[in-house]
Amino acid sequence: MKRDISVRNDLFGFHTTPFTRAPAEPFSDQRRARYRCKADAFMHRRGFAFVTGGPGCGKTLFVNELCSSQNSRTATVMYIPFAMFGDTDMRREICRQIGIEPVYRMGAMIRNIQERIGEMQPVNPILVIDEVQLIGQETLDMLRILTNFKFESANLFTVIMAGDESFQHRLQLRINEPLRQRVTLFVTLGALCRKDAAAYIHHQTRVAGAHQQIFDEQATTLIFDITGGIPRLINNLAGAALEEASLEEKPVVELRHVEQAGTTCLPPSKGAPRDDTQTV
């Protein structure tokens, strides 16, 4: 009888299992490094930012890394992981995270939030809204009104919105033109190119503790061909290939391990869209 498949960390020299969670030392290609530099500058001047990209390309990870790098003495992060709140629920959640009691009347609640934001200065209040494409128009209008407080004289509030490209189309609507004009940072994350996908795989295994090459060249090439360079899919396929190699007690992942893994960890339809045209 076959034993349960799991990654043999001892076989590969890992102290943690790669591809299962974000490593302490994040991977960054040229595009992501450039965006991160621009995002760091944005955090100092405050305002609105929009982070977009295809599924699995690292929007949430990018925002989490950006916010976790902020000094807790100079910034307070209010993270709302999904945007299915109504405008009242959103206001109540903001009140809870900045430590004030919500009130019934909308105008009074907005005014109380604005006053609290003013009291928090010079601390930067950072509101992060993930899956922002799900947000209703009334809630979106409320966000714009909320940040009107002394906005012309100084940016007292930072709002980071992360979501798919459909939200970018909404920003083009006339009703949202005042909000679109306030967005001063647009980040678009895409799939990795072939070279960066190979570097990503090596980075994940190195940070996990490996001192040698774990994936041979053919295995790395096939992972890119199947996943199209989408980081989430790379994680799924590479992790499953490590399990296949562990089952055979092989310290190197080979082509056949990726082929075997691909039959069980990915949909049987055609591979993910490829993007091998990015500059590196």
- Average pLDDT value over all residues in the chain: 86
Cβ pair 10, 249 in contact under 8 A: no
pLDDT for 151:
52
Judge residue 10's burial from the number of C-beta atoms within 10 Å of its C-beta, 0-12 exposed, 13-18 middle, 19 or more buried: exposed
Q: Cα separation of 122 and 125, whole Å? A: 9
| The pLDDT of residue 215 | 97
- pLDDT value for 272: 46
If you average pLDDT over residues 252-273, what whole number do you get? 80
Q: What is the model's pLDDT at position 277?
A: 35
State what percent of residues in the chain have pLDDT above 90: 49
Give this prediction's pTM.
0.83
What's the confidence (pLDDT) of residue 92?
84
Once rounded to an integer, what is the mean pLDDT over residues 134-156? 76
DSSP string, 226-262: HHTT-HHHHHHHHHHHHHHHHHTT-SSB-HHHHHHHH
The reply to whether omega before 122 is within 30° of 0 (cis) is yes
**pLDDT value at position 111?**
87
Angstrom distance (rounded) from CA 241 to CA 250: 11
Looking at the chain, the whole-number percentage of residues with pLDDT higher than 70 is 90
Paired tokens of 101 = 């009691």
56 or 4, which is more confident: 56
104-131 pLDDT per residue, tens? 788 888 888 888 888 888 989 999 998 8
What pLDDT, on a 0 to 100 scale, did the predictor assign at position 108?
A: 86
Q: What is the pLDDT of residue 83?
A: 66
List the structure tokens of 108.
């009074």
Are 273 and 239 in contact, with CB atoms under 8 Å apart?
Answer: no
Average confidence (pLDDT) over 85-102: 83
* Sequential DSSP letters for 44-96: HH-EEEEEEESTTSSHHHHHHHHHHTS-TTTEEEEEES-----HHHHHHHHHH
Phi, psi of 229 (to 5 degrees): 85, 10
Mean pLDDT computed over 43-60: 91
Identify the band that residue 260 occupies on the pLDDT scale cut at 50, 70 and 90: very high
- What phi and psi values does residue 126 have, to the nearest 5 degrees? -115, 115
- Sheet containing strand 124-129, edge to edge, reads 75-80, 124-129, 158-163, 47-53, 183-189
pLDDT for residue 152 is more than 70:
no
pLDDT band at 228 (very low <50, low <70, confident <90, very high): very high
Q: What is the pLDDT of residue 276?
A: 42
Tens of pLDDT, residue by residue over 186-216, are 999 999 999 999 999 999 999 999 999 999 9
